[in-house]
Structures are given as C-alpha cells and as structure tokens.
Structure 1
C-alpha cells in the first residue's frame, strides 16, 4: 500500500512503525512541518505555517485549524502530481489531518488520538499552585479540544496508546478507538549490571552507588519537578551518601512559563537551595539516548510524577530496564503500576511521603529485586515492541477503518 504518515515533529510516535511498514513492502511517505529538524530517511513533503505569537482565548483552536489548512494545501499540491495514498495516518494533535479527507476522499484516514483536554478531571486545575479556574481558563481549555474532536470525527479509525488516554475522548468516539502502545524495544532497553555514567565534571557512577534518577523532557510542574525538589532536603538528610541525577531541559514544557521568566529548574532549585547538598545533586541537561539508558540502569530508584496527562515513554522504558519506579498515584501511572508489586505509588503532592518511600528503597535495595523483575516482565508482556505492539500497529494501519 501507499501510506502517508503525517506528524508535525515526525517521527514522533511513528519512530518504530515507519521503518516496519517500509520493511513490510509498503511505500511510505511523510508530510511534516518545514521547521521539523528531526532527521528522516523517508520521502518527505513539508508544509509551511508560522504560528501566531499572540493568542486570544480561542487561539489554540485557530492556530491548529490554520496549521491543518496549510498541511491540506501542501497535500493538494501532492495530489495534483498524481500522488494518492491508500492510507493517511496522522497525529490529530496539531490539526494536520483535519482537511485531508477532502484531498484524498478514497483514502482511509487514521488518527493518532493522544489526549483530549477537559476543564476538570485531567491536567487542567489538577495542581492548584499553578492553575486557577477562571472563565478565561475554561474557554482556553475548551478551545484546545475543538480541533481534536473535529479531527477525530473526520477519521475512519483512531488509535490511542493507553486505555486511560483513550478514555479522555467522548463516548460516541470510543467505537473508533483501538488501544495500542507505540511499543518498547525490550531487547535493547534491558538491564545491564555493568552500566556506568560519568557525570560531567563529577563522579563516575555505577549500580554500586546510591543513586536516584529523575527524567523529564523539561524540568517542569506537569511532571512533578517541584514536588521532587521539595522532597530532597528530607531525603538527602536521611541518606547522606545519596546522589541525585536529574535529566531534562530548561524549557517551559507542557505548561506555561513562570511569570518571572526564570526556568522552572531554577525556581525550585532556589526554593530548596540552602537545604540540599549541591555536591550530590547533578543536573545533566538533555543527554544522548545511550547515556539516558545507563543513567536509568544505575539507579536504586527512578522517580516519575505526572499530572493526569499523557504517559511518558521514559517511565515504561525505565520499567523495561528493571528500574524501581516510584510513580505518582495518578490515572496514567496507575494503569501500569501496582503499588509494591511492579513499582511504587505515592500521592503526587505529598513530598514528605515521597522522601520516606525513596529513603526506604535506598536503605534496603535487595528487597526490591522482585519489584524490578515484575516491572520488566510487565513491559515485556504488555508493551514489547516486536512481539506485542508492532504486529498490532501493522494490523491497525493495514485494516482499520476499511
């Protein structure tokens, strides 16, 4: 088949699927934003669109509809050249698939439905420290759902990576949704007792050291960075040999920037600065993927906190590595982790209890061997790339919505 993958930041969720489709003999092409700097090896067409710098209350909806229009106009150019896909599979996050059914009405249109915002029960309003409910905030949230629902209704079939993320979409769309994760390469992402990591300008760390890891694309409240930082004074006092490795950038991430213009990293580091041992606190910034895996491998515990939002690949990858994951008792995490079975769950906001649980794990690492084994086995059984997810993903692309 001729398959067009559409994603503003390709490959994104198609990083494993795209090469698998090509290997299976399908002719695969890509439609993406011209500002996407990710490397690509497939035939690619780019569309041009510049988001507005200032947004009104409905700005998210307007931006994504116009982004979708730009993608459709580029698609029309492709159609005039005789390029007609049998299947179009795209993320609905940025409106790119909104109008593609008008360009190729006979193609099956598949949508990657990652998450639907709501004014309550999900990320919006979850953390009262940063979210105040106002008429304006409600309008902005609903405006962020407009293009997502429209794109979902236009699609012939939808895919969500987890059950909880699928459940965020309206009941009338549920019959369209298949729940299939992108997959975890458990063959590559596996434990290695010999792993080590050289902290830039710091010590060489191995699994013999007492290390806790924390990984986010950006160090931000959405992923509980502020809660972890507030747990550190008590935790570091209880564990005088503990080292903490934090991986992540300084951007605003999924939420807004701080009013001062400072990074969230600096805001919360300053808050606890006089109560932590900076010589045992290691901020790496963003790192190579191979380094990330080794950082996770050496940890006695890996912390993953999140609002009720999209589940990060990093948590599942940490479990595949046999990490002892301490996660927030929020819906996306609870779908995967059972407390004290294949990981640990803590109240998102209770930094005191978090410090105690991490100290308990560090004090008796041998007691966690069963949890490590259960964590990896759960990923192999449920999220393994080659044996579970890829076959389901291939079947979805080849048959869904027919």
Structure 2
C-alpha cells in the first residue's frame, strides 16, 4: 500500500510504526511542518507554516479553530501538490488530529482510508480544566472556550474512517458518539532496551557522579509546569531533604510551558523556587534542563525513587519507560495514572494535592528501598505484559493501518 503519515512534528507518535510499515514493503512517506527538525529515514515533504497566530480580538472564541484551519489549509495545499506534481495517491492517510492537519485531506484524496490519532478531547469538567484551582479556573467564560476548542477535534473524528488512542482513559475522553471508531493501542515501549541496570551511572552537569544504588530521587517532565505537578513536588522537597540528608534530587525538564499557560514572569521553576524562599539545599537539588535520551535512560536507571505527577491529561511516555527500567514510582492518584499503576502493586499512588503525604511517601521509599523491590519488579512486568513494543503494540498498530 501507499501510506501517508501527517504530523507537524513527524515522526511523533509514529516513530516506530512508520518505519515498520516501510520495512513490510509499503510505500511510506510523511507530510510535516516546514520547521520540524526531527530526523527520520523516511521521505518527508513539508508544508509552510501558517501566518502568525490569529488575533483573539478578531476571532474571539474561534481563535483555536482559525489557527487549526489555517494549518489544515497549508497541509492540504501541500497534499494537492503531492497528488498533482508527483502523482502520489495514498491508500491510507494517517494523521494526528490535534493540530487540524487532517481536516481537508479527504477532499484531496476521497478514495483513501483516513485514520486519525485521537490523543485527547477537551472537556469543561472532569479532566484537566479546573482540576487545579490554583492555576486553572473553570468559570462560564472558560467553559465556552473549551467547547470552542473541541471544534477541530470533532470535525476530524467525523471525517475519519477509524481512530487510534494510546490508552483507555484517553479514548474515554472522547464523546460516546465517537467512541466506537476508536481502537486502543499504545505506541509501545522498547522493553528489550529499557531494562534495569545496576551498573548505571550519571554525571550531573557541574555536580556529583551518581550511581545506581545511591539515594537519588528523580522527577521528569518535558517542561517543569503545573500540568505535571512540579509545584507539588517542589513543595514536598524541603521535608524530604531534611529527613534524608544524603539524598540527591535530579529534576529533568525545560523552563517552558507545553500544555498549560506560561507564568506572567520568568519560568514556573523560578516562581516556585522563589516561593520556597531558600528552604531547599540547592547543593543536592540538580536541575538538568532537557537532556538527550541516553541521559534520561541513565537517570532512570540510577533512580531509587521516581516521582510522577499529572493532572487528568495525556499520560507521559516517560512514566512507562521508567517502569520498564524497574523504577520505584510514586505517582499522583489521577485517572490516566490509575490505568497503569495499582497502588501497592506496581507503584504507590498519592493524592495530587496532599503535599505532606508526598513527603512521607518519598521519604519512606528513599529510606527503605528493599521494601519496594517487588513493586519495581511488578512495574517492569506490567510494561512487558501490556505495552511491549515489538511483541504487543507494533503488531496491533500494523494491523490497524493495514486494515486487518
């Protein structure tokens, strides 16, 4: 078959699937945004980015839809060139619905099978909006905005022949009218490579050389922001460091904002550090920024305890990867996490907002790691049995695309 993947940051969620389909003999190409710097062995074509974001004062509640249709228009124009200039006529078009790129592609290729990656559907209640009142209000005006933001997602689902979600919780974020279209299969975790390693070590930039077995507490997010609970984690740290004078904390993540709003001044990290007012021993708290993937793996392998928090939102790959490497995970008791972690079985769950309990659980796990050995083993087993890339997820993903 001829298969086109569409993703503004390709390969994105298709990192393993697209090359596998090519290896199976399919003609696979990608359509992505012009500024995408991700590397891929597959032939990729690029669409020009839309003009600057629409002025909210002009488009009002249609701001998001205007931005998404602008992008969709650019993607579709590029698709027309693929069709008319090089004669490409795909059997399957598979795109991520989150950025609107798929909206007009059925008009270009009406006979293709159109698939969408259905990652998340916004809601006014019960998910991320309004969950943390410190940073997210759920007043009537905000609810109108959330409903308006559903427009391109709903239209993408209407036009799709089928959709894919990585987890049950994410699939259930979509309205019941769309639910029957959705197949649930995760992108997959390479459990053959992401294994525990008791010989692992990590050199903290400008800091100590840490080894597996050392008293290391870790926290990882793409960006250090409230959506991933960095404020809760940092507020729990003073008591943890006071109780465990030999512990080191390694915090991975950028200073931007991936999902929620950016702070008015500086970064969320700096704002929360100012709030703590010098209560942290910064000689033992190491902010690495974003790190190469190999460094992330090393950090997870030396971690004695790994803290993971998220509001009710998309689950991070890093959590499943940490579990594959046998991490002792203390995580927030929120919907997407509860699908993966059973409290007391393959990790521990703590109420997102209970800072005192976070401190207590982190202290206990740092103090007595042997009590968590079985949880570490169970964590890895859960990923191997349910999210393994080669033996479970990839075969299902291939079947989904090939229409088997």
- Specify the TM-score bucket, using the shorter chain as the normaliser: over 0.9
CA distance in 2 between partners of 1:253 and 1:155 (Å)? 27
2:53 maps to 1:52: yes
Alpha-carbon distance in structure 1 between the residues aligned to 2:189 and 2:313: 19
> Aligned residue for 2:24?
24
5 Å-filtered alignment, 1:384-399, equals 384-399=388-403
> In the TM superposition, what are the counterparts of 1:63-82 in structure 2 within 5 Å?
63-81=67-85, 82=87
1:195–1:207 CA contact under 8 A, matched in 2 = yes
Q: What is aligned with 1:292? A: 296
Counterpart in 1 of 2:98? 93
Structure 1 match to 2:242:
237
Aligned to 2:337: 333
Shift of 1:53: 5.8
Q: 1:151 aligns with which of 128, 149, 156?
A: 156
Q: Write the mapping of 1:359-370 to structure 2, written as runs, cut at 5 A.
A: 359-370=363-374
Is the 1:57–1:136 Cα contact (8 Å) retained in structure 2?
Answer: no
The Cα of 1:298 is off from its aligned counterpart by 0.7
Q: Distance in 1 between matches of 2:213 and 2:118?
A: 42
Query: SS state of the match for residue 105, structure 1?
Result: coil
Structure 2 counterpart SS, 1:93: helix
1-side partners of 2:253 and 2:325: how far apart?
A: 19
Is structure 2 residue 130 aligned with structure 1 residue 125?
Answer: yes
Give 1:200's match in structure 2, choosing from 200, 205, 209. Answer: 205
Q: CA RMSD in A?
A: 1.0
Deviation at 1:363, TM superposition (A): 1.0
Residue 190 of structure 1 is matched in structure 2 by: 195
**CA shift at 1:133, angstroms?**
2.4
8 Å contact kept, 1:227–1:349: yes
**Greater shift after overlay, 44-53 or 246-255?**
44-53
- Corresponding residue for residue 380 of structure 2: 376
Distance 1:83 1:188, change over 3 A: same
Q: Deviations over 1:124-182 (max 9, x none)?
A: 10000011223331122112111001001100000000000000111111111000000
Runs of 5+ unmatched residues, structure 2 = none
The answer to which of 135-144 and 351-360 deviates more is 135-144
Q: Distance in 1 between matches of 2:331 and 2:233?
A: 11
TM-score by length of 2: 0.97
2-side partners of 1:157 and 1:252: how far apart?
31
Aligned to 2:356: 352
Post-superposition CA distance 1:343-362 (Å, at most 9, x none): 11000011110010010111
| 2:2 aligned with 1:2 | yes
| TM-score normalised per structure 1 | 0.98
Aligned match of 1:266 in 242, 261, 270? 270
Task: List alignment gaps of at least 5 residues for structure 1.
Answer: none
Q: Which one of the candidate residues 225, 230, 233 is aligned to 1:225?
A: 230
Paired with 1:274 and 1:109, the residues of 2 have a C-alpha distance of: 54
CA contact (8 A) 2:120 2:174 kept: yes
Equivalent-residue separation in structure 2 for 1:277 and 1:320 (angstroms): 31
Corresponding position of 1:318: 322
SS class of match (2:5) = strand
Question: How many residues get paired?
Answer: 399
Deviation sequence 1:178-232 (CA, Å, 0-9, x none)? 0000000001111110000001111000122100000000000000000000001
Aligned equivalents of 1:376, 1:359: Cα separation in 2: 22
User: For residue 35 of structure 2, what is the aligned residue in structure 1?
Assistant: 35
Q: CA deviation at 1:78?
A: 1.2
Instruction: Encode CA deviations 1:317-374: one digit per residue, 9 max, x unaligned.
Output: 0000000111100000000000010011000011110010010111110111100000
Match of 2:171 among 158, 166, 170: 166
> Post-superposition shift, 1:58?
2.2
What secondary structure, in the 3-state scheme, does the structure 1 residue paired with 2:99 have?
A: coil
Separation (CA, whole Å) in 1 of partners of 2:277 and 2:164: 44
Match of 1:215?
Answer: 220
Counterpart contact for 1:218–1:251, Cα < 8 Å: yes
